[in-house]
Chain A
Amino acid sequence: MLNCKVNGKEIKVKQGTLVIDAIKQADYDVAHYCYHPGLSVAGVCRLCMVKIGDNPRLQIACNTPVQEGMEISNEDEQVKDAVKWGLDFHLINHPLDCPICDQAGECELQIQYMKFGQYDPEMAEKKVKKRKVVDLGSKIVLDTERCILCSRCVRFTDEVSKTNELGIFNRGDRSEVGTFEDKPLENDYALNTVDICPVGALTSKDFRFRQRVWYLKNQSTICTGCSTGCNVKVYYNEEGLFRVKPEFNEDINGYWMCDQGRDVYKFVNKDFRLLEAQSVTEGQAEPLSAGKAAQLAGEKLKELTKVNGPESVGVVVTGQYTNEEYESLFDYMVNKLKVKNIYHWVNNSDTMDDFDGLLLRGDKNPNTYGLKEIMKKYSIQTNMSDLEGAIKSNTIKTIVVAGPENQAVYPDFNERASLFSQASNLIWFSAGPVSAATSKHTLVIPTKTYAEKSGTYVNYKGTHQSSHKVTTIVRGALSLSDSVTLMSGESILTKPVGPQKAMKTNFFVNKSGEL
């Protein structure tokens, strides 16, 4: 450990710590554009200037390791002045099109300008015009004029995705970021470049022009896109979820997430959801509330197990629920109803063990591990393929399905649904509509998605991660645990569990009173 002082505050840092990280560790702000802890050091933006000891020349904090006894200051007038004029240089050719820029509100240029800039520009020369709205494929749009040439995105494609698409061409004030011959930027991690771009040069096509970031709140949760379980932040408002960004977790995902995971908010929104329960009897559909439907399902199951025996009931479970939900479902089925025919619905057995070497896994369920554990706990050894025979031979007459939240990752969804529909009773818990469920007596009950409930997911290597409720999208939906409570004839406490305290995205929105 090394001792050093940051703005007079004494701290201890690990050997090899960079001054910039020491400043952060001491809880001080430091202006910077090019430094990113997940990438190599470039030292090109010259904004992270600090004064070290009495050294008359300022140094960059991102490329200076802390030495024993170092006295670091970034509150010195000399530093503030350097940052201010550094910023002026960055803005010489910047188009300042904030009103139509998606980054506005979370743009480092705006943030640093408000903190350190506030100068009168003294540039008499005309701005250098560069290419705008460069189409970089299906995911990203590039505005080379807004780019401040920090090279983060270039280092990302060189070092992290190792796909080497981006580069900086020309030189001086005509330098321009881009791909070779404007080739599309389509690697599986490309949208991380949008996150790390400190300005609005790289923007996401999916998010572009859909929301101003200051109207969004954000909260931490877990990506349920695959069994890696990346830590993410979702951004949302009353209308629903709008985007997902990664959040640092050294053990799981580092600073990144995959591009597929970025889409794991879409099925949560109202347009793709089952809004109320449906009971279909011989083609006659009748809507009812989820609570009513769950109670009805409970009564039915009680009677059916009594009349036909518990062996006549089959339960199909997907790896998309939380541990807590599995606990209550299994307890109810096995202990209360004595149903032991519980099957694990594996969506893509051929690609289940795939791994792209970085983050993305072939198992497109967040909690296969948890499901397997609970099946082990209840010593259930079944095989989905046996279910088909049991349905056909009419030994299983009733099917309960804890279906996938995200139906898009279940390529066999419709095929399975029509198989289950051959049983005469079908109770299906689903976040989205299930049009292929057409048994004689069908009950589809709307469930909450991962963003609407709290619970534990266990990732591929057995790491337990708890995820917290973010918001409510479909008011009538139930978690699986709540449904089970209702099915067993008890009532759920509708004590209003509010979401965690949400963070506003924009620093200045929080501070608006001070501006």
Chain B
Amino acid sequence: MEAFSDDILVFIKKECSRYETRRSAIIPCLYKLQEKRGWISPEQIGQLAVAMDIPPVQINEVMKFYTMFNQQPVGKLHVQVCNNISCTMNGSRELTDHLCKTFNVKSGEVSSDGRVTVSKVECLGSCDTAPMMQINDEYYENLTPESATKIIEKLGK
């Protein structure tokens, strides 16, 4: 296992002193870790726990609560389909199933060519344009199965 680089350690230290409690710095630190590989491993949580001097379970709680932190490697295009109430009422379950079928992946897993991951996420705060998805850092709204497929195919080229 790779040790944290100095810049990560400096970052953690700075974030920890920034808030009233060190626990508040968990989210920025997790983002920092995810930056490099796109996902966070349990070993990294263990290391982070030591660096932050926080029990690992508390970091794990935060990481697993938020769908924006990836617990496994993801494909080049990380398609995150909102599956919360408004989107579900507007057909996001069907949308997710359609995308999984089209790109031949199981939800949460990486396609065999390493290009696409389709995952279900919680509300992304864009309920008025449901159903919607986020691909990497961009929002795509008012989707239909067809339009979503097109968007992904275009991005994949």
Is A180's CB within 8 Å of the partner chain B? yes
Report B122 CB to chain A, min CB distance, Å: 7
A21 to B68, CA, bound (A): 41
Of A97-105, A169-177, A486-494, the stretch lying at the interface with chain B is A169-177
Complex: chain A residue closest to B60, CB-CB: A180
Residue from A168, A169, A172, A180 having most chain B Cβ neighbours under 10 A: A180
Cβ contact within 8 Å between A179 and B57: yes
* In the bound complex, CA of A167 to CA of B63 (Å): 12
Query: CB of A164 within 8 A of chain B?
Result: yes
Chain A residues numbered 166-204 whose CB sits less than 8 Å from any CB in chain B = 166-172, 179-181
Once A169-B64, A169-B65 are accepted as A-B contacts, the answer to whether A181 and B42 lie under 8 Å apart by CB is yes
In chain B, what residue has the closest Cβ to A170? B64
CB–CB B65/A180 < 8 A: no
Q: Which residues of A contact B65 (CB under 8 A)?
A: 169-171
B58 lies within 8 A of A164 (CB): yes
In the complex, whether A165 has a CB less than 8 A from a CB of chain B is: yes
B45 near A180 (CB under 8 angstroms)?
A: yes
User: A181: nearest residue on chain B (CB-CB)?
Assistant: B42
CA distance in complex: A168, B65 (Å): 9
Which residues of chain B are near A164, meaning CB under 8 Å? 55, 57-58
User: Which applies to chain A's interface (DSSP): helix, strand, loop or mixed?
Assistant: mixed
Q: Which residues of B contact A168 (CB under 8 A)?
A: 61
Q: How far is the CA of A172 from the CA of B122 in the complex (A)?
A: 10
**Contacting residues of chain A (149-172) with chain B, CB-CB under 8 angstroms:** 164-172
State how many angstroms separate the Cβ of B22 from the closest Cβ of chain A: 13
Asked if residues A167 and B122 are in contact (CB atoms below 8 Å), the reply is no
Interface pair A180/B64, CB less than 8 Å apart: no
Contacts of B46 in A (CB 8 A): 180
* B67 to A, closest residue via Cβ: A171
Kindly report which residue of chain B lies nearest to residue A168, judged by CB atoms: B61
Q: B53-80, CB under 8 A of A: which get 1 and which 0?
A: 0011110110011000000000000000
Q: Are A169 and B58 in contact (CB under 8 A)?
A: no
> Given that A171-B122, A180-B45, A181-B42 are contacting pairs, would A165 and B64 also be in contact in the complex, using a CB cutoff of 8 Å?
no
Contacts of B55 in A (CB 8 A): 164-165, 180
- How long is the Cα–Cα vector from A265 to B119 in the complex, in angstroms? 52
Given contacts A167-B58, A168-B61, A171-B65, 6 further A-B pairs with CB under 8 A are A164-B57, A167-B61, A169-B65, A170-B64, A170-B65, A171-B64
Listed in ascending order, the chain B residues whose CB lies under 8 Å from chain A are: 42, 45-46, 55-58, 60-61, 64-65, 122
Binding site for B on A (CB under 8 A): 164-172, 179-181
List 5 A-B pairs, minimum CB-CB distance, nearest first: A164-B55, A167-B57, A169-B64, A167-B61, A180-B57
Show 11 residue pairs from A and B whose CB-CB distance is below 8 angstroms, ordered by the A residue: A164-B55, A165-B55, A167-B57, A169-B60, A169-B64, A171-B65, A180-B42, A180-B45, A180-B56, A180-B57, A181-B56
